[in-house]
Amino acid sequence: MRRWVHGIAVALLAGVVGVGAQQLPLEPLRDSGQSVTPAYEGWFRNADGTISLLVGYFNRNLNETVDVPVGPDNHIDPGGPDRGQPTHFLVHRHWGVFTIVVPGNFPEKQLTWTLVSHGRTMTVPMTLHQDYEVAPLKDAALGNTPPVVQIDGAGPKLQGPPRGIAATIAARAGQAITLAASLTDDNVPDPRRPAGATPLSVSWMQFRAPAGGAIVFSAPKSAVAAAGGKATTIATFSSPGEYVVRLQANDVSGDGGGGFQCCWTSALIKVSVGN
């Protein structure tokens, strides 16, 4: 099952295991001090025969972002600890944040993401169970497809969940740079969304940063014309190191496609920041 209850996937109730202090997935939210729950959204086949595992998370805190570096407290096994997962966790629920691409025969049969925050260990198994197959590139009911994105208006056209790093750029600590993306969309209406819903929007988010590092965006989210357009933000990086920015382009289906796993586009941008 992949329907949403109070912002948590019903699938999480069966898939997430808490170790140590008990914390149920539907426990009331608090401002801070809560754990981050990894979320397995499902899997889908790629045109090249590989399979992508689609993964997100739920930061249970209302006001506290959480940073967990890759390592003993943030690892995916086997093949890890680093399988491209985030180290910076924004508040609330975030869908389809990254993918893990595996061979078509998925030789491991199961991957497990373990995340420790505020003394609580949460794990989620990822398998190819038939109930978790998703279609993030086309909504079968409506024919809707995700927005098409080009970083800086050039390079490859991106659509759907992220697959590795889409672009790499350089910056200097404390010096503002402009991040830009061009978008187009099929502008298919969604009767499940309320009238007046923003047809197309772009969000810029911190995905990874070096220890103590942070990114400030002048415009973390902006609306774009229904058929497409350009979105920009000014980003400032606090200290030298390797950062990853996540761009998310939503059409009228909204965050997580309203729980139907389509139709939004995400891209990961690596930023190498020097002195």
Per the CB < 8 A criterion, the answer to whether 110 and 237 are in contact is no
Query: Measured between alpha carbons, how far is 62 from 34 in angstroms, rounded to an integer?
Result: 9
Structure tokens at 199: 């047809």
Q: pLDDT: is 192 or 102 the higher one?
A: 102
Structure tokens at 239: 């200290």
- Mean pLDDT, all residues of the chain: 88
Q: What angle do CA 213, 215, 221 make, to 5 degrees?
A: 155
**pLDDT tens-digit readout, 38-82:** 999 999 999 999 999 999 999 999 999 999 999 999 999 999 999
pLDDT confidence of 198, banded at 50, 70, 90?
low
Measured in residues, the chain has a length of 275
Q: What is the pTM assigned to this prediction? A: 0.88
Query: Which of 53, 51, 50 shows the shortest CA–CA distance to 40?
Result: 53
Per the CB < 8 A criterion, the answer to whether 159 and 145 are in contact is yes
pLDDT confidence of 21, banded at 50, 70, 90?
very low
Domains in the chain (CATH in brackets) are 4-132 (no CATH), 148-274 (2.60.40.10)
**pLDDT tens-digit readout, 126-137:** 999 999 999 999
Max CA pair span of the chain: 51
Query: Worst-scoring range by mean pLDDT, 49-63, 90-104, 129-143, 246-260?
Result: 246-260
Residue 10: predicted pLDDT: 37
Per the CB < 8 A criterion, the answer to whether 147 and 161 are in contact is no
Q: pLDDT: is 135 or 12 the higher one?
A: 135
